[in-house]
Chain A
Amino acid sequence: MLNQFFKVITSSIMKKFGMGVTGLLLCGFLVSHLLGNLLIFVGPQAFNTYAHTLVSNPLIYLAEAILLLIFLKHIGLAIKLTIENKMARPVKYYMTQATGRGSTFASSSMPVTGLIILVFVVLHILQFKFGAYYEETYDGVVMRDLYRLLIEFYQNPLNVAWYIFSMACVAVHVSHGFWSAFQSIGFNHPKYTPLLKCLAKLFALVVFCGFSSLPIYCYVQGAQ
């Protein structure tokens, strides 16, 4: 019985299901992260207060733990799937050529964009979560001045460029991943799937423009 259960949860389709579900959850994280960060445009106080509220809530540790787990699951599965997929064809073709009717740049570059995103996320956490600690006081409350860190960090155009490049990768990644997740969890519909594919592209565009606007804004703000 256990054996049967093990077979099911380790099956190819469950792995894909796991990829899809964690991927969609990460898309959700992207949205919430973007919405929060857009407060930069409102001003330092709004942004810093938002960040402070977030990290001073004790549930943040739970939330971070869950997010970490989702990330690790997504990455772990990706690595496992990629290795298995390489093993499924031990002798390579002499020549391969896409039909032009199936795979897209986004779909065939998922492992590469995924890897770049991973590097980005690690750096991103090091740069900000564990970056320089400035303080600021609003209405008598002492809190971290993340805003200042951002402005300073993005004075370096290389940092801006890397950020935008990484967001381009995220956008490409989700433009395939978003609709693909639905396919993996068993949803494909002659009417809604084409819609989902459009939605995926739209989502990618929003993610790219939304996030990329942030470092540019910081760069411009700092220069003044």
Chain B
Amino acid sequence: MSADEKLLTLNLKIWRQKDAKDKGQMVDYTLEGVSTDSSFLEMLDQLNEKLVGQGEEPVTFDHDCREGICGMCSLMINGQAHGPEKETTTCQLHMRSFNDGDTIVIEPWRARAFPVLKDLTVDRSAFDEIIMAGGYVNVNTGNAQDANEILIPKESADLAMDAAACIGCAACVASCKNASAMLFVGAKISQLALLPQGQVEAEQRAANMVAKMDELGFGNCTNEAECEASCPKGINISNIARMNKEFLKSAVKSKS
């Protein structure tokens, strides 16, 4: 589509693993005729079409909306979560970021809490469990007062929105050398702590979500901010500080 479309030949090193029990290994592929206008996932589609044509099993990877919002796509690309571009999901990464003849290493997210299911697909249900531990406001349908009765300063609403932009893709965990989930958890705790609606349960929320995060085997934060740097939505680590604060407040105030 763009005026300077080129076709690339690529050497791919892709993690192949039959199922959760398989040991898995890196496998080399060569793929020709990849348009620089294609997205990274379209490049993988192209590889898969080729593999199917040869009667081989295609590479399994997670993806869905392909417009950078569902959070389903993942992939460590050359050792970077979602590849080299800033604030870009794998599905929005385009092949013009690569050169002809490049070798591209593609691996799944790696963390104890995210077991590999097959090839590049991992199980991220740990994130659902963390949200279950308190990532919500306890309000049943029908209980709400008029929306304008809750006044929220624009600045708080904007900050809450910054945190709420999280798509739950887990690039933060993948890129963290400690496989820590603190940016994900911090973003949710932060969003709700910034809004009056979330205040009522702010303390239990922080305590419970952090406890669940720890229980699931995520690592500890060492404030390196690789999570922020890899986050496709640019979520700031100030949200982790806010979580720390909320948690400490709750630890001091809690009666048990």
Asked whether any CB of A lies within 8 Å of a CB of B in the complex, the reply is yes
Q: B244, A89: Cβ atoms under 8 Å?
A: no
User: Interface code B72-89, partner A: CB below 8 Å = 1, 0 otherwise?
Assistant: 000010111000101000
Nearest-neighbour CB distance to chain A for B215, whole angstroms, equals 9
Residue of A nearest to B113 (CB): A88
Q: B220, A84: Cβ atoms under 8 Å?
A: yes
Chain A positions near chain B (C-beta within 8 angstroms): 1, 4-5, 7-9, 11-17, 81, 84-85, 87-104, 107-108, 110, 176, 180, 182-190, 193
**B13 located at the interface, meaning its Cβ lies under 8 Å from any Cβ of chain A in the complex:** yes
Q: Which of B15, B177, B244 has the most CB of A within 10 A?
A: B244
| A-B contacts besides A95-B107, A98-B226, A108-B224, 19 pairs, CB < 8 Å | A8-B207, A14-B251, A16-B220, A88-B111, A93-B79, A93-B107, A95-B78, A95-B79, A97-B80, A99-B226, A102-B224, A103-B225, A107-B225, A110-B222, A184-B221, A184-B244, A186-B247, A188-B240, A190-B238
With known contacts A88-B179, A183-B223, A193-B238, A11–B110 Cβ distance under 8 A? no
Q: B113: which A residues are within 8 A, CB to CB?
A: 88
Chain B positions near chain A (C-beta within 8 angstroms): 13, 15, 26, 76, 78-80, 84, 86, 105, 107, 110-113, 116, 175, 177-180, 182, 207, 210-211, 213-214, 217-230, 237-238, 240-248, 251, 254, 256
- Of the candidates A101, A108, A110, A185, which one forms a contact with B244 in the assembled complex, judged by CB atoms under 8 Å apart? A185
Q: B248: which A residues are within 8 A, CB to CB?
A: 13, 17, 185-186
Residue of B nearest to A176 (CB): B223
Nearest-neighbour CB distance to chain A for B133, whole angstroms, equals 12
Q: A99, B175: Cβ atoms under 8 Å?
A: yes
Q: List 20 A-B residue pairs with CB atoms under 8 Å apart, sorted by A's residue number.
A: A4-B254, A4-B256, A12-B210, A16-B244, A17-B248, A84-B178, A85-B220, A88-B178, A89-B179, A97-B79, A99-B86, A99-B230, A103-B177, A103-B229, A108-B177, A176-B223, A180-B222, A183-B244, A185-B248, A188-B240
Q: Which of A14, A15, A89, A182 has the most CB of B within 10 A?
A: A89
Please report the C-alpha to C-alpha distance between residue A96 and residue B227 in the assembled complex, in whole angstroms.
14
Q: B228: which A residues are within 8 A, CB to CB?
A: 101-102
Q: A193: which B residues are within 8 A, CB to CB?
A: 238
Nearest-neighbour CB distance to chain B for A10, whole angstroms, equals 8
Tally A-B pairs: CB < 8 A: 155
Q: B110, A91: Cβ atoms under 8 Å?
A: yes
Please report the C-alpha to C-alpha distance between residue A16 and residue B241 in the assembled complex, in whole angstroms.
11
Q: B177, A102: Cβ atoms under 8 Å?
A: no
Q: A89: which B residues are within 8 A, CB to CB?
A: 110-112, 177-179, 219
When A and B form their complex, which 10 residue pairs have the shortest distance between CB atoms, in order from nearest? A186-B245, A88-B219, A188-B241, A102-B229, A97-B79, A101-B229, A85-B178, A102-B226, A88-B179, A186-B244
Please report the C-alpha to C-alpha distance between residue A92 and residue B227 in the assembled complex, in whole angstroms.
17
Q: A176: which B residues are within 8 A, CB to CB?
A: 223
With known contacts A99-B226, A188-B237, A87–B112 Cβ distance under 8 A? yes
With known contacts A94-B26, A94-B105, A102-B229, A12–B221 Cβ distance under 8 A? yes
Q: B226, A94: Cβ atoms under 8 Å?
A: no
Q: A184: which B residues are within 8 A, CB to CB?
A: 221, 223, 244
Q: A85, B254: Cβ atoms under 8 Å?
A: no
Please report the C-alpha to C-alpha distance between residue A9 and residue B254 in the assembled complex, in whole angstroms.
12
Q: B224, A103: Cβ atoms under 8 Å?
A: yes
Q: A107, B256: Cβ atoms under 8 Å?
A: no
Q: B79: which A residues are within 8 A, CB to CB?
A: 93, 95-97
Q: Which of B113, B222, B247 has the most CB of A within 10 A?
A: B222
Q: B229: which A residues are within 8 A, CB to CB?
A: 99-103
Nearest-neighbour CB distance to chain A for B235, whole angstroms, equals 12
Nearest-neighbour CB distance to chain A for B252, whole angstroms, equals 10
Please report the C-alpha to C-alpha distance between residue A7 and residue B211 in the assembled complex, in whole angstroms.
7
Q: B237: which A residues are within 8 A, CB to CB?
A: 183, 188
Q: A102, B251: Cβ atoms under 8 Å?
A: no
Q: A187: which B residues are within 8 A, CB to CB?
A: 241, 245
- Of the candidates A15, A94, A188, which one forms a contact with B15 in the assembled complex, judged by CB atoms under 8 Å apart? A94
Q: A190: which B residues are within 8 A, CB to CB?
A: 238
Q: A101, B86: Cβ atoms under 8 Å?
A: yes
Please report the C-alpha to C-alpha distance between residue A189 and residue B76 in the assembled complex, in whole angstroms.
31
Q: A185: which B residues are within 8 A, CB to CB?
A: 244-245, 248
- Of the candidates B207, B222, B240, B242, which one forms a contact with A85 in the assembled complex, judged by CB atoms under 8 Å apart? B222
